[in-house]
Amino acid sequence: MDANMENHDAGALLEQAAQLDAGDPLARYRSLFIGTDTDLSYLDGNSLGRPLKRTQQDISTFIGEGWGGRLIRGWDEEWLDLPQTIGDQLGRAVLGAAPGQTVIADSTTVVLYKLIRAALATVADPVRTEIVLDTDNFPTDRYLVEGIAREEGLTLRWIEADPASGVTVEQVRHATGPATAVVLLSHVAYRSGFLADLPGITEVAHSAGALVVWDLCHSAGSVELELDGANVDFAAGCTYKYLNGGPGSPAFAYVNRRHLPGLKQPIWGWMGRKDAFEMAAGYEPAPGIRSFLSGTPAIFGMLAMRGTLDLIEEAGMAAIREKSLKLTAYAVQLFEAWLEPAGVELASPREPELRGSHITLDHPAFRNVTAALWEQDVIPDFRAPHGIRVGLSPLSTSFAELFRGMAAIRDQLRR
């Protein structure tokens, strides 16, 4: 392609970005996030979301008035209830979950461990000795299940997942049977962005007599969810991606109400006891979802996500998902115009409805390209062996920002 033609195409693509931003009903939310008034192109919202401007004031007020003003009284007045209060808002705004089934606690790794062990205890069938998982799930999910299988003498049944797509209903149907106890899968694949059929897979697992634990880290806040409607058993997710809770903000756990009576989670701590301050001998679990707690709630880590949950409730997950689809579609369009001719491969589904809110691009030079891009204030992330993930957060990412970032990837690759 000659330079004049390429410049014409770039101009048309830039004009398209301007039109998409002008017609974006969520565009006004972008200015509420720190750093969006700069030229930095942030394409890593699926790893760590931008902070809201209000978070600075929320945390400052908490230090001065909550922590500094109320001191220890804050526990009785509000803080002890925050895991369930924020959990219910998360369930309402994001998860499609009725109250009393979601709680904020721990890290994703710890929550997943507790949920998998709780699922196994719920099944409690000596014939069911297999856990089904896939080869391309996020490492912590795989490591946890390997450790639990070793602890409990269980067998792992691996689904060979295509790294450019993900696990299908038919694969789960083939892998499950009378010996299956638990199926552990991610709703959105962390590499490819493939969006699994959550309702369909859940139904297939149930038809085999198994329970399902879903990892929602890459879907909560970017993809519409109806956990109650899909009859999901258990789910976990982080809050620092599309929920903007900040580095290390605590995870969430969802336990379907039908599993709450007699729920058995393995990490008994004082905060999950029926009366935490009784300090008595012996562990008696609190009723309901509170029994899932173990240690003292991470209050600081919960503060930031409240602002995003408020925005999500205002905007609605349907509108957020619609913009996510448009963002990834535009990213693929830029890829096809600029990067595919240069030998870059799309390691994500081409059909928008089969993607979460990120795409992955593969090229042998991308490890060095990513490092150079970061120096230019263009921030995607790199996933070995040679993938750049372009993560798009619908509330804070603009189409013009995406255009600048993809153009920088093109230019750096040429160098």
Residues forming the active site = 138, 215, 240-241, 389
CA distance 279 to 273: 9
The answer to whether 394 is a known ligand-binding residue is no
CA distance 399 to 84: 36
CA distance 124 to 339: 51
CA distance 214 to 401: 32
The answer to whether 296 is a known ligand-binding residue is yes
The answer to whether 108 is a known ligand-binding residue is yes
CA distance 211 to 204: 10
Grouping H, G, I as helix, E, B as strand and the rest as coil, residue 414 is helix
The answer to whether 85 is a known ligand-binding residue is no
The answer to whether 240 is a known ligand-binding residue is yes
Contact 397, 221 (CB under 8 A): no
C-alpha distances (whole Å) from 228 to each of 7, 70, 98, 242 are 50, 38, 7, 21
E strand or H helix that includes residue 242: none
The answer to whether 178 is a known ligand-binding residue is no
The answer to whether 270 is a known ligand-binding residue is yes
E strand or H helix that includes residue 255: strand 251-255
Beta bridge partners of 216: none
The answer to whether 141 is a known ligand-binding residue is yes
Question: Other CB atoms closer than 10 Å to residue 59's CB: what's the count?
Answer: 17
Residue 279 CB partners (closer than 8 Å, separation 6+) = 270
The answer to whether 129 is a known ligand-binding residue is no
The answer to whether 218 is a known ligand-binding residue is yes
CA distance 353 to 162: 18
For the chain, give the number of residues.
415
Binding residue numbers:
108-109, 138-141, 215, 218, 240, 270, 296
Binding residues for pyridoxal 5'-phosphate: 108-109, 138-141, 215, 218, 240, 270, 296
